[in-house]
């Protein structure tokens, strides 16, 4: 029997109307046996995401303040969905239990996870499916990292062929039984893990767009849809800012070759984008997609004869490790190395980083370039096609956009340029037009 895992995002489960759309999608294909859900998203631009309200509740607790007003908004949302769908559930009992427990939780993970927990209970009742708590399926180790082997074993044991179940996304448990969440957007990861554990034929990720576009539709009008893309290409694009699918959701299914299908809840008949391991016809593909992000800082460290100074780069990176800062890229030359770091990682630590670099490495010069945006042009054929880089840089030159950094990954499937943040939107449009016109 074919088994599909269908994950539905927050916009797909924001209100009773969207719940009905999800039910119609699931009932149309009986192979959609296992469903993974996010917490309710926004119903309008002025609305709140339930997860944001739950984080705010925890923040109020930490500050010693009351949170009844925020929790009332959460309760009202779930009650309104249940009433509109005609569900007979003890929601008040569940909400009271969560409300009473919040002050005793030191970390925000328990609070944040309750959005998915309650939404899965609602959808399971609406579908007539079994509710299976992710707390009994997803395992993290004592260091807070996913325990893939234990997770796979639990999913295989509890999600049996022939059953139909709804699983809340975003969280699991630590060895002591406490709740641990994935990063935001982590319901995608839960869906991938469930698909891996049940050996699904396909992992469907239902969202509010009809697949994966060659470029962000907010930057380019009516961009080209990517109908077929490889795991590697998608992971590169996701890492570099494309946000249709969480990058960490790719590994669990890619390792065993389960395709991912990005679909649109509002256009359920659209085939969307299929993400696969390999593509036979690469000759017709030049560039698969373009993605980027603003908000980077480049720290350039220059020192004569750096290349012959043993351990120089190791000592440089040890500073970042000591301060728990991750870097995104590290282009280098014979006497210079650059660290490209997102501002969110620095979090006010820039002066400390610069002080330690000067103290421990004695460089000739340290320069900081602020407000840099990175743009990644991705495609399996980039490394083996003549003229790709020439067309990209010509397009930027014609728009009088200065390139501050160039970095091509060892994989050969991406070409990354750094430009000033103020040129970001124009640069993305120029690169896109260079490869679609």
Q: Looking at the structure, do residues 344 and 369 belong to the same domain, yes or no? A: yes
Query: What is the pLDDT, as a whole number, of residue 246?
Result: 80
Q: State residue 62 phi and psi, 5-degree precision.
A: -65, -30
Q: State residue 15 phi and psi, 5-degree precision.
A: -160, 180
Q: Distance between CA atoms of 262 and 270, rounded to whole angstroms?
A: 10
Q: How many CB atoms lie within 10 A of CB 369?
A: 16
Query: What is the pLDDT, as a whole number, of residue 281?
Result: 62
Q: Which residues of 35-68 are buried (b: 16+ CB within 10 A; e: fewer)?
A: bbbbbbbeeeeeebbbbbbbbbbbebbeeeeebe
- How would you write the pLDDT of the chain (437 residues) with one tens digit per residue? 799 999 999 999 999 999 999 999 999 999 999 999 999 999 999 999 999 999 999 999 999 999 999 999 999 999 999 999 999 999 999 999 999 999 999 899 999 999 999 999 999 999 999 999 999 999 999 999 999 999 999 999 999 989 999 999 999 999 999 999 998 888 999 999 999 999 999 999 999 888 889 999 889 999 999 999 998 888 888 888 887 778 788 889 998 999 999 999 999 999 999 999 887 765 566 788 999 999 999 999 999 988 888 999 999 999 999 999 999 888 888 899 999 999 999 988 999 999 999 999 999 999 999 999 999 999 887 777 788 889 999 999 999 999 988 877 666 788 899 999 999 999 999 999 998 86
Q: Looking at the structure, do residues 254 and 294 belong to the same domain, yes or no? A: no
CATH number at residue 81: 3.40.1160.10
Q: State residue 117 phi and psi, 5-degree precision.
A: -55, -50
Q: Looking at the structure, do residues 63 and 124 belong to the same domain, yes or no? A: yes
Q: Looking at the structure, do residues 246 and 189 belong to the same domain, yes or no? A: yes
DSSP string for 286-337: S--EEEEEEEEEEEEEE-TTGGGSTTHHHHHHHHHHHTT---SB--B-SSEE
Structural domain contains residue 326? yes
Among 248, 276, 304, residue at a domain's last position? 276
Q: Domain residues for 74? A: 4-276
Structural domain contains residue 409? yes
Q: Looking at the structure, do residues 266 and 324 belong to the same domain, yes or no? A: no
Query: What is the pLDDT, as a whole number, of residue 235?
Result: 85
Structural domain contains residue 392? yes
Q: Looking at the structure, do residues 340 and 419 belong to the same domain, yes or no? A: yes
Contacts of 409 (CB under 8 A, 6+ apart): 236, 416
Q: Looking at the structure, do residues 196 and 300 belong to the same domain, yes or no? A: no
Q: Looking at the structure, do residues 143 and 256 belong to the same domain, yes or no? A: yes
Structural domain contains residue 316? yes
Q: Looking at the structure, do residues 359 and 234 belong to the same domain, yes or no? A: no
CATH number at residue 294: 3.30.2130.10
Q: Looking at the structure, do residues 55 and 201 belong to the same domain, yes or no? A: yes
Q: Looking at the structure, do residues 266 and 295 belong to the same domain, yes or no? A: no
Structural domain contains residue 283? no
Among 276, 308, 332, residue at a domain's last position? 276
Query: What is the pLDDT, as a whole number, of residue 307?
Result: 82
Q: Distance between CA atoms of 396 and 417, rounded to whole angstroms?
A: 10
Q: State residue 362 phi and psi, 5-degree precision.
A: 50, 55
Among 211, 244, 276, residue at a domain's last position? 276
Structural domain contains residue 281? no
Count of domains in the chain? 2
Query: What is the pLDDT, as a whole number, of residue 201?
Result: 96
Q: Distance between CA atoms of 247 and 63, rounded to whole angstroms?
A: 33
Structural domain contains residue 336? yes
Structural domain contains residue 198? yes
Q: Looking at the structure, do residues 257 and 306 belong to the same domain, yes or no? A: no
């Amino acid at each position: 029997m074919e088994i599909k895992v269908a994950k539905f995002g927050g916009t797909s489960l924001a209100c009773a109307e969207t719940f009905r759309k999800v039910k119609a999608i699931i009932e149309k294909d009986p192979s959609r046996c296992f469903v993974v859900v996010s917490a309710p998203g926004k119903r309008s631009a002025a609305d709140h995401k339930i997860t944001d309200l739950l984080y705010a509740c925890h923040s109020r607790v930490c500050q010693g303040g009351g949170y009844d007003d925020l929790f009332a908004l959460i309760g009202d949302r779930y009650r309104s969905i249940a009433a509109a769908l005609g569900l007979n559930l003890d929601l008040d009992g569940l909400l009271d239990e969560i409300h009473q427990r919040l002050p005793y939780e030191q970390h925000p993970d328990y609070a944040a996870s309750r959005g998915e927990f309650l939404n899965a209970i609602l959808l399971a009742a609406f579908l007539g499916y079994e509710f299976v708590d992710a707390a009994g399926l997803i395992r993290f180790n004592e260091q807070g990292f996913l325990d893939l082997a234990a997770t796979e074993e639990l999913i295989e044991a509890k999600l049996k062929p022939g059953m139909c179940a709804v699983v809340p996304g975003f969280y699991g448990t630590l060895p002591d039984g406490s709740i641990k969440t994935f990063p935001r957007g982590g319901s995608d990861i839960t869906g991938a893990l469930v698909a891996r554990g049940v050996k699904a034929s396909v992992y469907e990720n239902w969202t509010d767009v009809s697949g994966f576009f060659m470029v962000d539709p907010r930057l380019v009008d009516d961009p080209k849809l990517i109908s077929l893309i490889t795991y590697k290409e998608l992971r590169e694009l996701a890492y570099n800012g494309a946000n249709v699918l969480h990058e960490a959701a790719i590994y669990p299914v890619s390792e065993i070759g389960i395709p991912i299908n990005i679909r649109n809840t509002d256009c359920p008949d659209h085939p969307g984008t299929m993400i696969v391991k390999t593509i036979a016809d690469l000759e017709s593909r030049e560039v698969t997609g373009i993605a980027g992000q603003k908000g980077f800082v480049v720290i350039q460290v220059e020192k004569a004869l750096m290349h012959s100074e043993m351990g120089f780069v190791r000592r440089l990176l040890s500073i970042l490790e000591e301060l728990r800062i991750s870097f995104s890229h590290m282009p280098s030359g014979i006497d210079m190395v650059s660290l490209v770091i997102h501002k969110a990682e620095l979090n006010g630590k820039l002066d400390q980083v610069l002080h330690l670099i000067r103290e421990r490495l004695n460089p000739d010069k340290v320069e900081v370039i602020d407000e840099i945006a990175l743009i990644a042009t991705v495609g399996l054929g980039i490394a083996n096609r003549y003229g790709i880089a020439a067309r990209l840089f010509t397009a930027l030159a014609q728009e009088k956009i200065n390139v501050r950094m160039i970095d091509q990954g060892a994989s050969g499937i991406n070409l990354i340029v750094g430009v000033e943040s103020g040129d970001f939107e124009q640069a993305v449009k120029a690169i896109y037009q260079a490869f679609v016109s």
